[in-house]
Amino acid sequence: MRRWLSLFLLMTALLFGCGRQQSEQQTPELILRYADNQTEDYPTTLAAEYFAQLVEERTHGRILIRVFPNGELGGESSVIEQVQFGGIDMMRVSVGTLAEVLPEMEVLQLPYLYDDADHMWRVLDGEIGAECMTGIRKAGVVGLSWFDAGARSFYTRQKVTSLEDLSGLTIRVQESEFMSRLVELLGAVPVQIPYGDVYSALQTSKIDGAENNWPSYETTGHFEAAPYILLDARCRLPELQIMSTVALDKIAQIDEDYVQIVQNCARESALYERRLWKEQEQTSEALVRSYGCQVTQLSDGEREKFRQAVQPMYDSYPEEIRTRIARIRES
């Protein structure tokens, strides 16, 4: 009898525990869509998934973020428009694309602006970065956190070792007038092509080359069609996680405290992304080199030619922007 009683009590406890666990699981009250044009295993996408996981845990399942990689929701330029009016809730966006909406963001992507990655993070994680995040509100979006996107260099179908070699080559750039002007100043011909179309454009000789970071060069397979890379590392383009103000209001309607929770989760996911980025850079470079791609490192003298060629970009800014540039360089 005692044995049966013990079994009964055990089963009752298990059923009660399962019932309580089910009652604690929330049906999402808000599902948010997050867009990224990178692949599922790319550092930014993995960080977005981590962000979604943190938000789900810390809102006890009341808010769910669904991440759409591979440009499923569209290219960056079209997605950012949808985020502005709330058609898409969140995205990872390049400063280059955001600057088309907020020209004052251009300053963060100027060529040869930062000494190295540590210098850039001192700027973005400091007062200047905070000012930029506040300014983003003008475009109807909320800045959440900064992602790393490394340094951008040229890669081409034929070998390029100097500024003169770039002359007349057709180079794919982001859908950005800023990047087009930069490439023009370096003597090449900019061609604005969506990110997903670059590989075929290289294969069919529609373009002579493109420019991006190590992970993008490797994970897209661009190195197969353009096996020469010139490490000029002229631009460090940080990226951001941004959210629609419409989505922000929806979160606040569920619980005001969740606004801060979501922002904290975004910052944590950014630190995670930066760690993944460093690892991916090393892996991608090693893979590309093992494939046999030829890597050219600019000499100090040649790099100075590149700097002089893009100086008109700096000269064109008003005094207010030049002051910010000086603050960045002094950081």
CATH 3.40.190.170 domain range(s) in the chain: 28-149+237-283, 151-236+291-330
Distance CA 280, CA 272 (A): 12
CATH code of the domain occupying 151-236+291-330: 3.40.190.170
Query: Which of 44, 35, 95 has its CA nearest to residue 238?
Result: 95
Q: 191: which 2 tokens?
A: 């061609």
Please give the pLDDT value at position 237.
Answer: 87
**Is this model's pTM higher than 0.85 or not?**
no
Q: Residue 32 is encoded by which pair of tokens?
A: 């948010």
Q: How far apart are CA 163 and CA 182, in angstroms?
A: 13
Q: What is the pLDDT of residue 104?
A: 86
**What is the full DSSP assignment across 42-103?**
SHHHHHHHHHHHHHHHHTTTSEEEEEE-TTTT--HHHHHHHHHHTSS-EEEEEHHHHTTT-G
Residue 160 confidence (pLDDT): 96
- Domain at 28-149+237-283, CATH homologous superfamily: Bacterial extracellular solute-binding protein, family 7 (3.40.190.170)
* 49: number of Cβ within 10 Å: 19
Residues 244-273, buried b or exposed e (16+ Cβ, 10 A)? bbbbbebbeeeeeebbebbbebbebbbebb
Residue given tokens 């867009």 in the structure block: 35
Splitting the chain (331 residues) into consecutive groups of 10 residues, what average pLDDT does each group show?
Answer: 43 46 66 95 96 98 97 92 96 91 90 94 95 92 96 96 96 90 97 93 97 94 97 92 97 97 98 96 96 93 95 93 94 91
The predicted structure's pLDDT at residue 25? 56
